[in-house]
């Protein structure tokens, strides 16, 4: 996939940024260690760092909610996650800055892990992969650059906003139906949902606060009108009885 804007043409997300580079290096390094140990017959990395819901529920291994996103189930799983991170993460880091970008990446990744844990708290199957955080990045990119064109398979042009909607819908329906074995669709959907709340939650709270303020204002206005009407009728009634002598 690649994209372009009306003012410039960029291939594969432009020059790599510092945090994106470090994240890719960290993912590749952990995958290399994971693969070497598995070739020797050990699943220590997956059992210790992968998200095993039962471990979180029973043994309180809460670190797994963050570490799972640095493990992957194969070369292609790693490649496509890192490719998407590279394509969309560079622009987001340049736009937001390093601190906000890294915070968002971790929040969506951990949030996706929490969602996966909540729907299967007694499961002993490991959830691994950066897909939750990557889906969160895709959601953010769609909100910031909705009309940019992405070429699927280098051939089919589609606007980012439609790509985000399509991927979100697929993750949603896959999570309802169980989906493809071995794919944590709940994590994909969770990454998008947490990202949406993270980016839009403050605006929603402000909008809710304004609406609550308007409701209170209208309620007080009606109460005042009722009170003022009663007072006015009483004054008019007293006035009809003639002058008051003191």
> pLDDT for 98-117, tens place per residue?
999 999 999 999 999 999 99
Which residues is 37 bridged to in the sheet? none
Q: Are strands 9-10 and 149-152 parallel, antiparallel or unpaired?
A: unpaired
How far apart, in whole angstroms, are the C-alpha atoms of residue 60 and residue 55? 6
How far apart, in whole angstroms, are the C-alpha atoms of residue 189 and residue 171? 6
User: Is 225 domain-assigned?
Assistant: no
User: Is 220 domain-assigned?
Assistant: no
pLDDT reported for residue 181: 47
User: Is 134 domain-assigned?
Assistant: yes
How far apart, in whole angstroms, are the C-alpha atoms of residue 16 and residue 32? 22
Number of domains the chain is built from: 1
Q: Which of 131, 174, 185, 246 is catalytic?
A: 131
Q: What band does 184 get if pLDDT is binned at 50, 70 and 90?
A: low
Provide the sign of the torsion angle of the four alpha carbons 156, 184, 112, 20, taken in this order. negative
User: Is 127 domain-assigned?
Assistant: yes
User: Is 246 domain-assigned?
Assistant: no
How far apart, in whole angstroms, are the C-alpha atoms of residue 167 and residue 180? 15
Task: Tell me the backbone φ, ψ of residue 195, rounded to 5 degrees.
Answer: -60, -40
pLDDT reported for residue 216: 76
User: Is 108 domain-assigned?
Assistant: yes
User: Is 169 domain-assigned?
Assistant: yes
pLDDT reported for residue 19: 96
- Is 174 known to be catalytic? no
b/e 89-112 (16+ beta carbons within 10 angstroms → b): bbbbbeebeeeebbebbebbbbbb
Domain region containing 92: 3-201
Tell me the CATH number at 130.
Answer: 1.20.1540.10
pLDDT at 28 over 70: yes
pTM over cut 0.85:
no
- Is 188 known to be catalytic? yes
């Amino acid at each position: 996939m690649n994209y372009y804007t009306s003012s410039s043409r960029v291939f594969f997300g432009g020059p790599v940024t510092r945090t994106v580079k470090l994240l890719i290096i960290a993912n590749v390094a952990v995958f290399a260690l994971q693969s070497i140990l598995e070739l020797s017959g050990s699943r220590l990395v997956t059992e210790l760092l992968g998200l095993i819901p039962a471990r979180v529920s029973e043994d309180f291994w809460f670190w797994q909610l963050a570490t799972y996103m640095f493990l992957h189930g194969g070369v292609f799983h790693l490649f496509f996650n890192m490719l998407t991170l590279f394509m969309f993460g560079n622009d987001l880091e340049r736009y937001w800055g390093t601190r906000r970008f890294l915070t968002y990446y971790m929040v969506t990744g951990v949030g996706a892990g929490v969602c996966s844990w909540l729907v299967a708290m007694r499961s002993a199957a490991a959830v691994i992969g950066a897909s939750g955080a990557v889906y969160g990045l895709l959601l953010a990119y769609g909100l910031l650059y909705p009309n940019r064109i992405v070429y699927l398979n280098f051939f089919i042009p589609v606007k980012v906003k439609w790509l985000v909607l399509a991927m979100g819908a697929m993750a949603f329906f896959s999570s309802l139906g169980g989906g493809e074995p071995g794919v944590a669709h709940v994590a994909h959907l969770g990454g998008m949902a947490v990202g949406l709340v993270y980016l839009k939650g403050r605006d929603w709270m402000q909008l809710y606060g304004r609406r609550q303020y308007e409701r209170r204002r209208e309620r007080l206005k009606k109460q005042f009108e009722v009170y003022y009407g009663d007072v006015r009728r009483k004054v008019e009634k007293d006035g009809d009885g003639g002058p008051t002598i003191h």
